[in-house]
Amino acid sequence: MTVRAAVAADAAALECLEKRLFSEANYPLSRRAFYYHIRHSLLLVAQSETGEIAGYILALVRRREPKLYSLGIAPEYRGRGIASLLLEQMFTGLSRRGFAHMLLEVRCDNHAAIALYRRFGFETLKTLKAFYRDGCDACLMRR
């Protein structure tokens, strides 16, 4: 598995992965949004040996404190440590840019993601009521 910065040629594959992973209630990103973030944010992809995009991580960096905006792993690649690999590479990239902390919001019912983020030192700051379109709360976390 290789982790690299996303390029414009990845936008279509990222959009397809996004549609597989996130319902409308979870604010999926469009191809146009991926093009934007490739140019203006920290967007890394995990690419398999066959060239398939197995996952991605997106951090918004045009702010005082960066925000982990999205992390997605294709179902067939889950359980292989790819999310951890992407998080480690993202933290390295943000550290090189001078950032020591970051924020994220995660669905309060996504226990696996919350456990992953806690392993990486994130702590819950507060609950954001009815944050998602389906009424689910979000946990605001900071590292």
CATH (domain of 91): 3.40.630.30
Q: What is the pLDDT along the chain (143 residues), one digit of tens a residue?
A: 999 999 999 999 999 999 999 877 667 899 999 999 999 999 999 999 999 999 999 999 977 899 999 999 999 999 999 999 999 999 999 999 999 899 999 999 999 999 999 999 999 999 999 998 889 999 999 99
- Residue pair 71/43 in contact by the 8 Å Cβ criterion: no
Looking at residue 24, what is its pLDDT? Answer: 76
How is residue 45 annotated by DSSP? E
The conformational region for residue 64 under phi > 0 = left, psi -120 to 50 = alpha, else beta, is alpha
Looking at residue 22, what is its pLDDT? Answer: 85
Per-position DSSP letters for 51-85, written without gaps between them = S-EEEEEEEE-SSSS-EEEEEEE-GGGTTSSHHHH
Domain containing residue 42: 2-142
Question: What is the Cα–Cα distance from 16 to 55, expressed in whole angstroms?
Answer: 11
Looking at residue 25, what is its pLDDT? Answer: 66
| SS3 at position 128 | strand
- Count CA atoms closer than 13 A to 9's CA, side-chain side: 3
Query: Number of structural domains, the chain?
Result: 1
- Considering only CA atoms, give the Rg of the chain: 14
